Amino acid sequence: MTDDVQGRIVALIPAAGQGTRLGLDRPKAFVELDGQTLLNRSIDAVRASGVVDQVVVIVPPELVDDVRARFPEVSVVAGGAERSDSVRAGLAAADPDTELVLVHDAARALTPPALFARVVEALRGGAGAVVPGLPVTDTLKRVDDTGVVIDTPNRAELRAVQTPQGFTAELLRRAHASAADATDDAGLVEALGEPVVVVPGEARAFKITTPFDLRLAELLCGTPDVVEPDPEEQPS
């Protein structure tokens, strides 16, 4: 941890995935939820948080012109084959004086604006890498490629992590310059041996991946937030 960090904040919104698990005819971020695309909702949530100076959206190459026309106030760049390629493309478009970066999946379209502020607060307090996480309620098994259980990790030690994930720009650039592979940005930071801090996540920040998730999101749209007990104090 360092002293309090001030400085410009950019939010990168990767939205370049095809979303094949949703089984629809368009990239996932461009699917509509109660009349608004997932991307539109994610941009609105980032803006509503009031903690971000620049928004960079990363979209499939063929949609760059269209998204630029729809959202003239955000930076729009073309994504790549893997999510990390898309994040790297977004990072390259961040203002040079950016000090803090949030990376937020467009697919987490119902994320409450307060979660962005929570992650930024931890970064401002000196953490180099911050992820929102929730305790897991299912028991998780590690399995081999034939489906036989290898072991059962201690559930109390596990967190299901979400986005926005926050980083100092220097650390995220270093993480993405490495050849390591990971399913989220924090995983690249961990591979550098740098600490990653978990702050309480939000149930509404779930990633819309399957048709079931989309139905759930439709049902939640327009409903008030559920007041949950403090996630860190929930029984495991």
CB of 104 to ligand C5P, least distance (A): 8
| CA distances from residue 3 to 11, 44, 224 in whole angstroms, order as listed | 22, 31, 37
Judged by beta carbon, residue 28 or residue 41, the one nearer ligand C5P is 28
Confirm or reject binding of residue 45 to ligand C5P (CB under 6 A). Answer: no
Q: Given candidates 12, 45, 76, 107, which one binds ligand C5P under the rule CB under 6 A?
A: 107
Rounded to an integer, what distance in angstroms lies between the CA atom of residue 104 and that of residue 102?
6
Judged by CB under 6 A, the stretch of 64-72, 82-90, 146-154, 218-226 that binds ligand C5P is 82-90
Size of the site for ligand C5P (CB under 6 A): 18
Among 10, 11, 12, 17, interactor with ligand C5P by CB under 6 A: 17
106 binds ligand C5P (CB under 6 A): yes
Q: Rank residues 49 and 86 by Cβ distance to ligand C5P and give the closer one.
A: 86
Q: From the list 86, 98, 111, 165, which residue makes contact with ligand C5P (rule: CB under 6 A)?
A: 86
Could you give phi then psi for residue 120, rounded to 5 degrees? -65, -40
Q: How far is the CB of 97 from ligand C5P (least distance, A)?
A: 24
Does residue 83 bind ligand C5P (CB under 6 A)? yes
Task: Using the rule CB under 6 A, give the single segment among 76-84, 128-136, 169-177, 192-200 that binds ligand C5P.
Answer: 76-84
Residues that bind ligand C5P (CB under 6 A): 14-17, 28-29, 58, 79-83, 86, 105-107, 207, 209
